[in-house]
Amino acid sequence: MTIGLARTPLAATPRYPEEFAERYRAAGYWTDETFGQFLPARAADFAERTAVVGNDATGTLRRLTYGEVDDAASRIAGGLAQLGVGKGDRVVLQLPNIVEYVEVLFAVFRLGALPVFALPAHRASEIGYFCRFSDAAAYVIAAEHGGFDYRVLARQITAETERPPAVVVAGDAEEFVPLASLRENDPAPIAENGADTVAFLQLSGGTTGTPKLIPRTHADYLYSVRESATICGVDADTRMLVALPAAHNFPMSSPGILGVLHSGGTVVLAPDPSPDTAFALIESEGITMASLVPPLAQAWLSARARSERDLSSLAVLQVGGAKFPAEAAKRVRPELGCTLQQVFGMAEGLVNYTRLDDDEDTVVTTQGRPISPDDEIRIVDDAGDPVPVGTPGHLLTRGPYTIRGYYNAPEHNSTAFTADGFYRTGDIVRLTDHGYIVVEGRAKDQINRGGEKIAAEEVENHLIAHPAVLDAAVVSMPDKYLGERTCAFVVTEGEAPKALALKTFLRERGLADYKIPDKVQFVDAFPVTGVGKISRNELRRALAATLEN
Q: CB burial class (10 A; 0-12, 13-18, 19+) of residue 452?
A: buried
Distance CA 514, CA 458 (A): 13
User: Closer CB to ligand OOB, residue 300 or residue 505?
Assistant: 300
Task: Select from 71-79, 259-267, 321-329, 376-384 the region that touches ligand OOB (CB under 6 A).
Answer: 321-329
The closest alpha carbon to 179, from 68, 314, 57, 89, belongs to 57
Whole-angstrom distance, CA of residue 110 vs CA of residue 501: 46
Residues 374 and 371: their CA atoms lie apart, in Å, by 9
Residues 367-386 that bind ligand OOB (CB under 6 A): 367
Q: Is 133 in the site for ligand OOB (CB under 6 A)?
A: no
Residues 451-490 that bind ligand OOB (CB under 6 A): 453
Q: For residues 186 and 177, give the distance between their C-alpha atoms in angstroms, rounded to a whole number.
A: 17
Q: Smallest gap, in angstroms, from Cβ of residue 539 to ligand OOB?
A: 21
Strands of the 198-203 sheet, one edge to the other = 177-178, 166-170, 138-142, 90-94, 114-117, 198-203, 213-217
Q: Is the dihedral of CA 376, 377, 383, 389 positive or negative?
A: negative
Nearer to ligand OOB, 73 or 241 (CB): 241
Q: Does 120 bind ligand OOB (CB under 6 A)?
A: no
Euclidean distance between CA atoms 15 and 23, whole angstroms: 14
Which of 323, 394, 485, 503 is close enough to bind ligand OOB by CB under 6 A?
323
Select 270 or 439, whichever has its Cβ closest to ligand OOB.
439
Give me the helix-helix angle, 218-231 and 18-26, nearest 10°: 40
Output the smallest distance, CB 171 to ligand OOB, in A: 28
Q: Does 351 bind ligand OOB (CB under 6 A)?
A: yes
Per the rule left: phi > 0, alpha: psi between -120 and 50, beta: everything else, 105 is alpha
User: Closest Cα partner for 95 from 138, 142, 61, 53?
Assistant: 142
Determine if 250 is a binding residue for ligand OOB (CB under 6 A): yes
Binding mask 192-221 for ligand OOB (x = CB under 6 A): -------------x----------------
Quick check: 321 binds ligand OOB (CB under 6 A)? yes
Name the one range near ligand OOB by CB under 6 A: 80-88, 336-344, 414-422, 494-502. 336-344
CB 95, CB 170: distance < 8 Å: yes
What lies within 8 Å, CB to CB, of 144 at 6+ separation is 150, 151, 171
Least CB distance from residue 318 to ligand OOB, whole Å? 8
H or E element at residue 75 = helix 66-82
Closer of 46 and 101 to ligand OOB (Cβ): 101
- Binding span for ligand OOB by CB under 6 A among 57-65, 318-326, 487-495, 520-528: 318-326
Nearest approach in angstroms of CB 425 to ligand OOB is 5
- Which residue's CB is nearer to ligand OOB, number 322 or number 488? 322
Taking CB under 6 A as the binding criterion, the range among 53-61, 155-163, 186-194, 338-346 that sits at the site for ligand OOB is 338-346
Task: Kindly give the interhelix angle for 256-263 and 218-231, rounded to the nearest 10 degrees.
Answer: 80
Least distance from C-beta 467 to ligand OOB, angstroms?
Answer: 33
* 257 is a contact residue toward ligand OOB (CB under 6 A): no
CA distance 316 to 153: 38
Is-contact 52 269, C-beta < 8 A?
yes
Of 414-443, binders to ligand OOB (CB under 6 A) are 425, 427, 439, 442
Report in angstroms how near the CB of residue 252 gets to ligand OOB at its nearest: 8
394 contributes a contact to ligand OOB by CB under 6 A: no
SS3 252: helix
Nearest residue (CB) to ligand OOB, 289 versus 439:
439
Residue 447 CB, shortest distance to ligand OOB, in Å, is 10
Q: Where along the sequence are the contacts to ligand OOB (CB under 6 A)?
A: 205, 249-250, 254, 320-323, 342-347, 351, 367, 425, 427, 439, 442, 448, 453
